[in-house]
Each structure stands twice: as C-alpha cells, then as structure tokens.
A = this chain, B = another copy of it.
Amino acid sequence: MSLIVHKYGGTSMGSTDRIKNVAKRVAKWSRAGYQMVVVPSAMSGETNRLLGLAKELAPTSVDLSYQRELDMLASTGEQASSALLAIALQAEGIDSVSYAGWQLPILTNSAFTKARIESIDDKRVMGDLAEGKVVIITGFQGVDAHSNITTLGRGGSDTSAVAIAAALKASECLIYTDVDGVYTTDPRVVPEAKRLTTISFEEMLEMASMGSKVLQIRSVEFAGKYKVPLRVLSSFTPWDIDLQEEARSGTLISFEEDEKMEQAIVSGIAFNRDEAKISVIGVPDKPGIAYQILGAVAEANIEVDMIIQNISKDGKTDFSFTVHRNDHAKTLDLLKGQVIPELGAAEVVGDAKICKVSIVGIGMRSHVGVASKMFKTLSEEGINIQMISTSEIKTSVVIDEKYMELAVRALHKTFDLDQDKA
C-alpha cells in the first residue's frame, strides 16, 4: 500500500483538541491502509514563547554559541508536539512512535538556525512502517555531524516533510495548513482571487519565494529536486470527510505540464514586503566587484534575492540587491565597515520601505509582451518601478510598499485572474 506523508502546521497542533482532530484524521488514513508518516510543527505560539525567553536573557547576541543554544531550545517545541501526537494516536488505538531529527538521523550542515538537510536515514522508519506503526517525525530540526541539534529556520517543517517524503519515496506529501490551497494571489488583498486546483512546480517556487506564505520555498525546491508530488490542503475540514474527497482537495503542485497549464499565461500574482533594497553607488567597474560585494554578504549568512547591476558610466556603476528586511541593518553595517572602503565605492544606501510584486506563469515562456503589459498597468496606476528582474516564468518589480495593494489588484484584473476558468 502506498506511503503518504502528512504535515500539520502549528495552528493545526495548537491545542489538545486540535491534536485529537489531527490524530483522528491520520487514523482514518492509516485504517484505510496507507503507510503513514506525519510531520507536525510545534504547537502555535510555542516557538515564539521559547525564543522570547532567550531574548529576555540575551537581547542582542548573535554569535555561533548562542545560535547553537537557540536551536537546542527551539527544537523542543516540535519534540513535544510530536510526542503528544503519538500519544493521541495511541489513544485512538493506532500504534505510533515519534522521533526527533537526531534519532533517525536527519543529518544537516552546521548552520545553526538555518541549517540544510544533507541526508535522512530511513531504516528505522521503514522498520516501524512495516510493523504497521504510524511514524511521527519532528519537523524543523535535524542534527549535524557533531551531534549538535540544528533547526532549518522558520517554516522549516514544510521542508522536513518534503525531504522525508523524498527519502521514503512517498506517493504524495500532503501539507495541511490554515488555507485551503494556493490562490491566484492573496485573497485578503484581492477578494476575487481564485484557488488553483493545480500549479506547476516552477510556478509554485516563484509564488512561495514571493511570500505567498503557503509553503516555505525550500520545501518546494526539495519537492522539485526529488519529484515529490505535493498537495496543499486545509486542516479545517472535518476529520471524517470522505478520504477520496480529501485526497483530491486543495492545490496539487504538479510536475507534469499538461495542456491546461499552457493555456494560462499568468497563474498568479505574488508579493512580498519582507525585503529591503541595498544600493552600492559609484562602484569602480572592474571584474570581481559582484563577488566582492555579495561574497561578503553570503559569508555573513545573509540571503540575497534580486540582484541588479546597471551599465557603467565614467567607469563607475551602481549595484543593487535585496535582502530580507531583518538583515537590512546588518547588511548595511557590513558593507559600510568593510566592503565599501576596500572597493572604493562612493556610498551605500538602503531602503526598507519597498515591496516586490511578481506575475508568475509558465505560459509566459511562449507569450511575448506579458512583461510590458505588466509595466503598462503599473504606469497607468502611477506606480514608479524601482527595480526589475525577470525569469522564464516570472517578472518581478520592486515598488514603494505603499502601492502594494493597488499594484496587486490592478495586475490581478489585467491578467483576468478573477475570471472562473474551465
């Protein structure tokens, strides 16, 4: 019988009543004959509570020893919720066992608070599944080669679930969450937004990276790399709805481009106000400057999203990129303190009051003029574009954050996303 991975977010695990509901849902799948592996997040609020305690003790420290302890601390939330779910399943009469990351192990690198999974040993899980047990595996955490606990960063339980599904060659990984699927854009911004029944892996990657917040981006990358069929669906349907109906609900992230997909030019509008813009002005235009700037940033473990370099003028060029808003001040300090003096650049300026808006769609590959239609729409609304970045299946612009809702609504309408599709 096929092996299924379920992942439940913190809201779904938020109280003992909700954990009982998760247990009943998982028990339904188990009784229907599926081999079940479940990856729960910490109970909602728990991770914040723990990190809040740490902050009371050490408000500002960021060194490696501190981050190691943060991971020791934060990982307890998932361990507790996993044990609780195992107990709830046992109370349902389902034999079950929970494992922390180190018990399999789920091996990661040593980048505390934002580690990456390197391998998952499936021996123990496969043995338990063969004995008919439901296996619960803590999300969000692993262990490095020196037996230190690591965590994968916020939302890391999605990544855990997909990586586990890949390692176990699961038929499908179901991400139960507080939304019922992936929408053409955020329905809180555009009430006319429609749920997509399928979306391609590449589009989902762009939607996730834009902060659609349905799935953590790394989980989508993992799903793409290992071809794990991924479904986003609601954990708020009654646990006893028909299993086949449940199995078809939500949004399937698909790896086969069918004809239907080709018909839609733009599948969705993504947006994100978690980024900040950094511009290094008046950089001498010579080989290696991008590396000099971004190498230092990468070494500080700061992730860079958009990167733009304009053509040079008088032997000088301007170099801009975006980072997470939380890393904005740190990046500015880093560049001012070390990189700018070495480079001989004129100055570095930052702007945290920006947002990124993207149109995403596989159909863009074969349709010209999609980007220009986007720019025309923004211009008609009087919105100035600060940065542009394009890929085969998306076009992103950085604009002043105050225009975000206006831009998203206008684009949603321009690309006919509020029309029901066949």
A76 touches B72 (CB 8 A): no
Which of A79-87, A168-176, A186-194, A206-214 forms contacts with chain B?
A79-87
- Nearest residue, chain B, Cβ from A105: B147
Extra inter-chain contacts (19) besides given A16-B53, A23-B57, A65-B97, CB under 8 Å = A19-B57, A53-B84, A54-B84, A57-B87, A57-B88, A58-B88, A61-B87, A61-B90, A63-B90, A69-B83, A69-B84, A69-B86, A69-B98, A70-B87, A73-B83, A76-B77, A76-B83, A102-B147, A103-B148
**Are A58 and B80 also in contact (CB < 8 A) when A65-B96, A147-B103 are?**
no
Task: Tell me whether A245 is interfacial, beta carbon within 8 Å.
Answer: no
Across the interface, which residues of B come within 8 angstroms of A82, CB to CB? 72
Across the interface, which residues of B come within 8 angstroms of A96, CB to CB? 65
Task: Tell me whether A226 is interfacial, beta carbon within 8 Å.
Answer: no
Task: Tell me whether A380 is interfacial, beta carbon within 8 Å.
Answer: no
Smallest beta-carbon distance A194→chain B, Å: 38
The one of B61, B87, B147 in contact with A58, judged by C-beta atoms closer than 8 angstroms, is B87
Across the interface, which residues of B come within 8 angstroms of A63, CB to CB? 90
Chain A residues at the B interface, C-beta cutoff of 8 Å:
16, 19-20, 23, 50, 53-54, 56-58, 61, 63, 65-66, 68-70, 72-73, 75-77, 79-80, 82-84, 86-88, 90-91, 95-98, 100, 102-103, 147-149
B57 touches A20 (CB 8 A): yes
Across the interface, which residues of B come within 8 angstroms of A65, CB to CB? 86, 90, 95-97
Across the interface, which residues of B come within 8 angstroms of A91, CB to CB? 57-58, 61
B88 touches A68 (CB 8 A): no
Smallest beta-carbon distance A171→chain B, Å: 26
- Nearest residue, chain B, Cβ from A57: B88
- Nearest residue, chain B, Cβ from A124: B147
B80 touches A50 (CB 8 A): yes
Q: In whole angstroms, what is the CA distance A355 to B149 when docked? A: 46
Q: In whole angstroms, what is the CA distance A208 to B103 when docked? A: 36
Q: Which 10 A-B pairs have the closest CB atoms?
A: A76-B76, A72-B83, A73-B83, A58-B91, A16-B56, A57-B88, A69-B83, A69-B86, A76-B80, A57-B87
Across the interface, which residues of B come within 8 angstroms of A72, CB to CB? 79-80, 82-83, 86, 98, 100
Smallest beta-carbon distance A216→chain B, Å: 23
Q: In whole angstroms, what is the CA distance A61 to B86 when docked? A: 12
Across the interface, which residues of B come within 8 angstroms of A80, CB to CB? 50, 53, 72-73, 76
Q: In whole angstroms, what is the CA distance A352 to B77 when docked? A: 38
Across the interface, which residues of B come within 8 angstroms of A58, CB to CB? 87-88, 90-91
Q: In whole angstroms, what is the CA distance A88 to B54 when docked? A: 8
The one of B66, B86, B102, B149 in contact with A87, judged by C-beta atoms closer than 8 angstroms, is B66
Across the interface, which residues of B come within 8 angstroms of A77, CB to CB? 76
Q: In whole angstroms, what is the CA distance A77 to B73 when docked? A: 9
Q: In whole angstroms, what is the CA distance A95 to B82 when docked? A: 32
Smallest beta-carbon distance A53→chain B, Å: 6
A-B CB contact pairs (8 Å), 10 listed? A53-B84, A54-B83, A61-B91, A69-B86, A72-B98, A73-B80, A73-B87, A76-B76, A76-B79, A103-B147
